[in-house]
Structure 1
Amino acid sequence: MSTTGSATAPLPAQKRRILRLFRPYRRSLLFVASLVVGSSLVSLVNPFLIREIMDVALPQGRTGLLSVLALGMIVVSIATSTFNVWQTHVSAKIGQLVMHDLRTAVYEHLQRMSLAFFTRTRTGEVQSRIAHDIGGMQVTVTTTATALVSDVTIVVATTTAMALLDWRLTIASLVILPAFVWVSRHVGDERRVITRDRQRQFADLSSIVQESLSVSGIMLGHTMGRARSLTDNFALQSRKLTEIEVRASTAGLWYQSTIWVVMASMPAVIYWVAGLTGSGGHMAISIGALVAFTTLQQALFRPAQRLLTIGIDLQSSLELFGRIFEYLDLPVDVAEPEHPVEPKELRGEVRMRGIGFSYASAERPTLDGVDVTVPAGRSLAIVGETGSGKTTLSYLIPRLYDPTSGTVTIDGVDVRDLSFATLAATVGVVSQETYLFHATVADNLRFAKPEATDEELVAAARIAQIHDYLMSLPDGYDTVVGERGYRFSGGEKQRLAIARAILRDPPILVLDEATSALDTQTEQAVQGAIDAASAGRTTITVAHRLSTIRDADEIIVLDRGRVAERGTHDELLSLGGHYATLVNRDTEMAVALR
């Protein structure tokens, strides 16, 4: 994928940015920290109780003391479990809220991106960032903060308790910690590289699934006889992901295995050291204290090992955070104004002055010096050869793109000074590619106007010449249209899109070849309905079939991004130029199809 994002931030800055994600929940984090510290400190009581049992209560036969100490161990277990339940519940809630904030922030930011971003980015890539990247951070975000505080507290407290029991054995126990740290850093660096490769492969696999298993993808694969090759390609990419997952699971396994062996051997080392430091057949430490020390030692190594694992997980997660931050840092090239202008009255006059526009990859400008004025309530038709800039020009009015040069104004206000809400309420668009959600007809129509009544839906559908057909369906307006509307024909989808635009009742209507998918008879019926709906409304039509724009108040002909001709239908025909050539060709094609 090619995206124009910021370079990966330095690690310290990235870590600070991650910490800022938890700032709204700092009070809850303090509560969790207090629970963790309390749990960690309470759990340290048991070894000292064990020492008293073995050195005092049992040898001296003090059953009363033994009962009290045993009861104390039970109370410690209950208290520790209670602390753990509460800290797990609160920390999980905090983690999920942080995940929610991240998902919402990414989705909101992507909603602000211009059409240009989505034309150069695979949908599967976007889905992978939101699903796999953020999902991959879930364990780290939900448990790391708690585990970090808990394990640090245990390590510090346990080390202190061990030193109080015997400082020499404590030093012997801590000798191997530097090796633990080195292994953690080495394995963490390796895991971070693997994580980057894994998420990229996830994105590739998601894109394949999204493209090849959509309705359009299945149709194309079947009709082209490519189902087998598509399956082979998926299997190849899946195999690559499998190999990466195996690498992720086994990275640093031998290093960590060595550490586990060392940890398991440490009690034997402590017993040996304790025996060597004694004199005259007596150890320098009592049996009870020695058992308490080895118990503390095991309690030390477990959180120490977890801290190293957390370090490895954090380094892996940094790559995931980096990919999410890359999306959040994408510049918004069509930004909403900080102080939008709210027009007092919307009449619908559209002016385009000195319009120039260039796509990033284009060798020449798509539009160059276009000047057009459409008075309020009048109609403009835009015609021209494929690639002449018709659709691009129409997309500048609702600000799907911003012009490279020049201005587009509505009632004298630059569209860049209007809020997106005002602009959306002012300009209705019906594009040549109709998109319908996998929902009911009524839900798809109400996407334009959520508060619309059933009567308003019917009125809009009647204008678009689709009401009678909908009523012939068993479920009527409650019919589910299917993914991307594939339960409906192209003409039916187009009429639903027209009804959806009409429902909003905008003063300006942009039709980008809105009747291109209709047969001649249906086109004439819908065109008549559109003409009726356009009364008193500024209408800008990008025309493919020139028969639909004969009555337009003005027609402009684009040629290589410039206005080559302008006038009414009759005026342009009399010129015998570009428009006349297009009309003659259109007529010949219509005759040939009869």
Structure 2
Amino acid sequence: MCMTSLIERGQDEDQRVPLRRIFGLFGPYRWALTGLLGLIVVQAGLGVASPFFLRAILDDALPQRDTGLLSLLATGMIAASLGNGAMSVSTTGVANTIGQRVMNDLRIAVYGHLQRMSLAFFTRTRTGEVLSRVFNDVGGVDNVVNTTASSIAQNGITTLAIAVALFVMDWQLAILGLIVVPLFLLFTLRLGRTRRSLARGRQRRLARLTTMVEESLSVSGVLLSKTMGNERELRERFADESREISLLERQSALAGRWQMASRRMCLTCVPAIVYWLAGMAIAHGASPTTIGTVVAFTSMLNRLLAPATAMQSVGQNVSTAAALFGRIFEVLDLPVEIADRPGAGELVVRQGAVSLRNVSFKYEDSWTLRDIDLEVPAGSTTALVGATGSGKTTLAYLVARLYEPDEGRVLVDGTDIRDVTLRSLAGAVGLVSQETYLFHATVRENLRFAKPGATDEEIEQAARAAHIHDMLAGLPEGYDTVVGQRGYRFSGGEKQRMAIARILLRNPPILILDEATSALDNRTERSVQAELDRLAAQRTTITIAHRLSTVEHADQIVVLDAGRIVERGKHAELMALGGRYARLVRGEAV
């Protein structure tokens, strides 16, 4: 199964996640966990102290009418209760702090790993599915990470402390009272597989619902649905998915409720049985057990109900979270296709010459480029032309290492770009695409994204060079104007000029222009093209042409057909040749 289908569909089978891998998330906080364990031990000890005080009150203080001893024992019960409460608050605070740090680490790990995935991964994966993994899946384990680990330790130690105390009081009664615990745990384990299956189905449905919301409620999605008049159909699709999630939520909530109810009844009935058996034994003089011991024992046995019930919930939460952890680790286990090689150095651009040597690339099983040999001299402009699907954009993206060639090498000044860091390559190669992307932030923040340390003066200077400063300065809030989602507050030409300003601010020595004016009208295109020509001056430029009239003055025109270079040369040379390029120019279609 390829990595895309893995994250898109998830695994139908119930993936088993090794517990050591989940516990490994807590590894950096082992000393904090040790301190938490110490607090839990103290809390458990204080929790079992009160019944011993109660037994002494019933068997000694009251029969002897010893008010001093009674006051001392009562004070001990109060102090133990207060101490137990203080320890409970402390353990909750420490556990939550550790849990939130683990959650923060997990979110960063998932986001960071997805960020490292190649462009090809995102072209094949729905955005909603990615969002679901970051928010729904990671958010779904929040309760388990924050409370379950400490709850297991706290309730486990409390149960152990109570069990020991019960045997200290009366070992015969203890055997009777503790018979119910193994049965209790058995029922809990039986619920695990059902809850894991329901949780995985729920997360898959949530991923689809997130995708639907992300696509249909984006600006583009709303425009499409309103102009097509199909809002009703979208609402019905949303309602269907929502109903399925509600059904799964109901099944999850009801799973094992009868077993849970029966176990609670058993735990409640045990004290009554203890009273009856102990009372019968005392009444017939067959047991040395005192009334104080029976009352204290029953009181302590009732305390066993809370940690036992909590452990029941823990078992259910862990079963549910196991499915979510499986989906999270699916993401973290996705192979990173494009990454820095061990020992990768910094790219130092001396001149900016670009070379492709015997380069081939394929999507899945189909070759997109085959045997590409191309030299782009430093400071020159090379135009890539050809029909749609001929491989122009793919070739340009290989230079930026957005894709990795399956065969051959891409060189900058004779250095294989796979031998340098991705960060240094990104600093050397700038891209202006046909679709200008702007964040939902201010104009200033969008421009500064190219150079985080840029001053306001540098930003305005870049905007002036892109001939967009006057328009931006004339806005009511100037450069602090929020552009709106994807920049829909601005026209196509204005967004394109902001993209040019952003690249100018970054000032890369190698520039890729990916049909940067294809979406503009003729007048705007001429204006923006003039800015692009100025931007390309003194740089090594690779431009993907939409209108052939924009590349007539290129130093080199490369014609692609079905992933191969079929012609190359200057405009006049190719026109005189009368081949593929000449036919494209006459037809004005690329």
TM-score, with normalisation over the residues of structure 1?
A: 0.95
Aligned with 1:352 (options 356, 368, 388): 356
Q: Give CA-to-partner distance per residue, 1:162-197, whole Å, 9 cap, x none.
A: 112211211111222232122101112211111111
Residue equivalent to 1:554: 556
Q: Give CA-to-partner distance per residue, 1:280-339, whole Å, 9 cap, x none.
A: 357542111111000111112321232232122112111111111110010011111221
Residue equivalent to 2:248: 244
Residue equivalent to 2:417: 415
Per the TM alignment, residue 143 of structure 1 is displaced from its structure 2 partner at its CA by 1.1
| Alpha-carbon distance between aligned partners in 1 of 2:44 and 2:371, rounded to the nearest angstrom | 72
Distance 1:61 1:24, change over 3 A: same
Aligned with 2:149 (options 141, 145, 150): 145
Residue equivalent to 2:21: 17
| Alpha-carbon distance between aligned partners in 2 of 1:418 and 1:233, rounded to the nearest angstrom | 47
Confirm whether residue 95 of structure 1 aligns to residue 114 of structure 2: no
| Alpha-carbon distance between aligned partners in 2 of 1:351 and 1:40, rounded to the nearest angstrom | 70
Q: Give CA-to-partner distance per residue, 1:73-106, whole Å, 9 cap, x none.
A: 1111111111111111111000000000000011
Alpha carbons 1:465, 1:525 under 8 Å: kept: no
Residue equivalent to 2:267: 263
Alpha carbons 2:129, 2:210 under 8 Å: kept: yes
Confirm whether residue 63 of structure 1 aligns to residue 67 of structure 2: yes
Task: Show structure 2 runs of 5+ residues with no match.
Answer: none
SS of residue paired to 2:516: coil
Moved more, 152-161 or 324-333: 152-161
Confirm whether residue 391 of structure 1 aligns to residue 377 of structure 2: no
| Alpha-carbon distance between aligned partners in 1 of 2:441 and 2:553, rounded to the nearest angstrom | 37
Matched to 1:320, the amino acid is L
Confirm whether residue 184 of structure 1 aligns to residue 173 of structure 2: no
Per the TM alignment, residue 450 of structure 1 is displaced from its structure 2 partner at its CA by 1.1
TM-score, with normalisation over the residues of structure 2?
A: 0.96
Matched to 2:272, the amino acid is A
SS of residue paired to 1:210: helix
Aligned with 1:448 (options 447, 450, 459): 450
Matched to 1:339, the amino acid is G
Residue equivalent to 2:585: 583
Matched to 2:205, the amino acid is Q
Aligned with 2:533 (options 517, 531, 534): 531
| Alpha-carbon distance between aligned partners in 1 of 2:26 and 2:439, rounded to the nearest angstrom | 35
Task: Show structure 1 runs of 5+ residues with no match.
Answer: 590-594
Per the TM alignment, residue 4 of structure 1 is displaced from its structure 2 partner at its CA by 4.6
Moved more, 77-86 or 26-35: 77-86
Per the TM alignment, residue 371 of structure 1 is displaced from its structure 2 partner at its CA by 1.0
SS of residue paired to 1:449: coil
Instruction: For 1:196-207, list aligned pairs within 5 A.
Output: 196-207=200-211
Moved more, 312-321 or 371-380: 312-321
Residue equivalent to 1:495: 497
Q: Give CA-to-partner distance per residue, 1:429-476, whole Å, 9 cap, x none.
A: 011121110001111011000111222222222332322222232222
Matched to 2:29, the amino acid is Y
Alpha carbons 2:356, 2:408 under 8 Å: kept: yes
SS of residue paired to 1:338: coil
Aligned with 2:484 (options 473, 482, 487): 482
Residue equivalent to 2:384: 382
Residue equivalent to 2:31: 27
Confirm whether residue 326 of structure 1 aligns to residue 330 of structure 2: yes
SS of residue paired to 2:437: coil
Moved more, 290-299 or 469-478: 469-478
Alpha carbons 2:39, 2:87 under 8 Å: kept: yes
Distance 1:541 1:341, change over 3 A: same
Aligned with 2:80 (options 68, 76, 85): 76
Residue equivalent to 1:171: 175
% of aligned pairs identical? Answer: 50
Residue equivalent to 1:592: none
| Alpha-carbon distance between aligned partners in 2 of 1:163 and 1:477, rounded to the nearest angstrom | 75
Alpha carbons 2:548, 2:588 under 8 Å: kept: yes
Per the TM alignment, residue 279 of structure 1 is displaced from its structure 2 partner at its CA by 5.5
Matched to 1:476, the amino acid is G
Alpha carbons 1:346, 1:426 under 8 Å: kept: no
SS of residue paired to 2:191: helix
Matched to 2:202, the amino acid is R
Matched to 2:389, the amino acid is G
Confirm whether residue 472 of structure 1 aligns to residue 460 of structure 2: no
Confirm whether residue 337 of structure 1 aligns to residue 349 of structure 2: no
| Alpha-carbon distance between aligned partners in 1 of 2:139 and 2:287, rounded to the nearest angstrom | 54
